[in-house]
Chains A and B, each alone.
Chain A
Amino acid sequence: MALNVTDLRVYYRTLRGEVKALDGVTFSVADGEIMGLAGESGSGKSTLAKSLIRLDGRMRHVGGTVELDGKTMPLSDDTGMDRFRFREVSLIPQYSMSALNPTRKIGKMVGELLESRGERPERAELERRLELVGLSKDVLDRYPIELSGGMKQRVVMVVSTLLNPSLLIADEITSALDVSSQKAVATTLLGFRDRGLVTSMMVVTHDISLVYQIADTIMVMYAGRLAEKAPADVLVTAPRHPYTKQLISALPEVGVRYEDRRLTGIPGNPPSLLKPPGGCRFRDRCPLAFEQCAEQPPFAEVAPGHFVACWKAE
């Protein structure tokens, strides 16, 4: 097992109290697995992604553990996490366009980054990987401002995977791109896994239909909790959680993101994460809700590799 997350709770400190953006999630990602992570805006996807690599100043690790390749990650210990970052777990951020230091030539920046991590920069390997994403080695002698947005993103993809991490997290990296570039990025990610440059991947997305093409499994979040996780085709063809069903039925043609469409037929909004109600968090909007839903349903394995948090999913 590459990644094991157990009952992870991460809250944001705010003036009005703690936002329980990640409230007890348990799942694992196997070696070689590409997991898509979907869910409405505000459901906690980015919070989960950030928790696994670097908490920001307002996030607080309240409970739960994360194990990567059998080693427990010290989430709230910023320096302790450095041992894992880049080598074991790495990130392709959403802001790839501005992720590179504007006043350093790319090659130099990469060299300095590697050196600062005690790694020896190998020019030949770097060039080979750039070629893999369709960039010539000339980009190493250029400043970020001289590259197009897409080129910058590919540079970032190469940099992030340079040390062959066990887990690569990609957060919304396709949302700013047009359809054909989205495809290219998805294919590149797949290539990274197939060539063994990264072991497993977590791809956060707004676009189930796109991630469906590369993901082995898809996990759906709702209001800070997990709703369902299943092999990609099972989740898309035979979802069991009422929320996932709504998502899938609203699923449009490839390329149109579901956020663009209102989740028609589901009245109401997700509950506030400041003081979330007990029980199933989807209860207010669930057509199937009944008395037992006042208790929190477990995230149970209903079929091999298929987990659902719903009393009605047997």
Chain B
Amino acid sequence: MRRYFGRKLLIYGLTFFVAVTINWMIPRFMPGDPVQSMLSRANVAQPAAVEAMRAHYTAMFGLDLPLWQQYLNFWGSLLKGDLGISIWLFPTPVSDVIVRAVPYTLGLLIPSILLSWFAGNRFGAFAARRKWLDNSVLPIGYVLTATPYMWLAILLAWALGIVAGIFPVAGAYGFDLQASWSWTFLGSLAQHWFLPFASLFLVAFGGWAIGMRNMIIYELEADYVNYLRALGAPTRLVRRYAFRNAILPQVTGLALQLGVLVAGALVTEIVFSYPGLGHLILQAIQNQDFFLLQGTFLFIVIGVLIANFIIDVAYVLVDPRTRTGMGGAA
């Protein structure tokens, strides 16, 4: 088990290292030296911002230092928690902008991931090898999982927001409200949260349901199932075992899908102008705020790594074999 976690942590450490290196390299080595061109074409109204940007680039990259020193400096400022100044919200530090947005993204992601995973697995297992469900409901699963997140978000916003007028379609709470613990505010928060949550949930749900259905079908062909059946074990027990075993690859699948889910949350936020990280990314791109973009990138990578580690821990909890030191999957 030590070895298992040791390996995982090593990989996460290396991944972080690679991410930071990408972050440093891309602006430095893209064709046409983006740093220079960015300084020249920065479409920022305030001269103060341009100045701050230049100062920061010099501090961070030290444009005329040797490359390795630029690289070390980059790590240095990063480790101090310095991600630069946002151009879009000048002069707020990037880290502040991000920290303000993170709760919204997490508030969407965590419930939609967890609920879709549990509900999808349950449902997929239930549908497997039950002919009528398999033939009628699972096609819907395929459609859902093939739907681009932003499109479902657009459809929901249009149908339930604009046409039916049941839900608001922009922002995280009413424009006329101030953040507070009042019921009005919380209610507005929940109202604004629902549609983005629902579209994330639905797409992911389809994927888990299909995945589980296919897993269970494989499990039901396994030797241990045939043996149990030959000894007259009731379907209840057989399905319970098959579900238990099919859930393991789904836990691994959760780790594999994290990137896709995060991407889904980003585009969904853009559709609903929901003030999370996706919204930041859009603003950063539209305002050429590259510090903000890069800071958000690093933040997301760190978040994904942490989530991966949590899933690793969960895997050890659900797969007894990892605990006996006998390996097991992943």
Contact = CB atoms under 8 A, between A and B. Distances in A.
Contact of B231 (A90, A95, A142): A90
B236 A101 contact: no
Given A87-B232, A101-B241, A116-B236, 15 more contacts: A54-B226, A85-B230, A86-B232, A91-B227, A93-B223, A93-B227, A95-B227, A98-B222, A103-B248, A112-B237, A113-B228, A113-B233, A116-B234, A143-B320, A146-B324
B244 interface: yes
B224 interface: yes
Contacts of A81: 232
Interface of B: 222-224, 226-234, 236-237, 241, 244-245, 248, 319-321, 324, 326
A119 to B, nearest CB: 11
Contacts of B244: 103
Nearest to B225: A101
B230 A117 contact: no
A103 B319 contact: yes
A146 B321 CA distance: 9
A208 interface: no
Contact of B223 (A86, A95, A142, A145): A95
Contact of A99 (B227, B233, B241): B227
A101 B234 CA distance: 15
A234 B226 CA distance: 36
Contact of B230 (A91, A98, A102, A146): A91
A82 interface: yes
A100 interface: yes
Contacts of A101: 224, 228, 241, 245
Given A143-B320, A143-B321, A143-B324, A99 B223 contact: yes
A201 to B, nearest CB: 16
A128 interface: no
B245 A103 contact: yes
Contacts of A145: 321, 324, 326
Contacts of A83: 232
A66 interface: no
Contacts of B233: 113, 116-117
A273 interface: no
Contacts of A51: none
Query: Which one of A82, A116, A142 has the highest number of Cβ atoms from chain B below 10 Å of its Cβ?
Result: A116
A53 interface: yes
A10 interface: no
A71 interface: no
Interface string A54-94: 10000000000000000000000000011111110011010
A291 B232 CA distance: 48
Q: Top 5 A-B pairs ranked by shortest CB distance?
A: A85-B232, A99-B227, A98-B223, A82-B232, A86-B231
A107 to B, nearest CB: 13
Interface string A92-135: 01010011111111000000110011000000000000000000
A113 B231 contact: yes
A212 to B, nearest CB: 27
B44 to A, nearest CB: 58
Query: Which one of A84, A91, A99 has the highest number of Cβ atoms from chain B below 10 Å of its Cβ?
Result: A99
A162 to B, nearest CB: 9
A156 interface: yes
A54 B319 contact: no
Contacts of A91: 227, 230-231
B329 to A, nearest CB: 11
A50 to B, nearest CB: 9
B325 to A, nearest CB: 9
A160 interface: yes
A93 B230 contact: yes
Contacts of B231: 85-86, 90-91, 113, 117, 159-160
A135 B102 CA distance: 57
Contacts of A100: 224, 227
B320 to A, nearest CB: 6
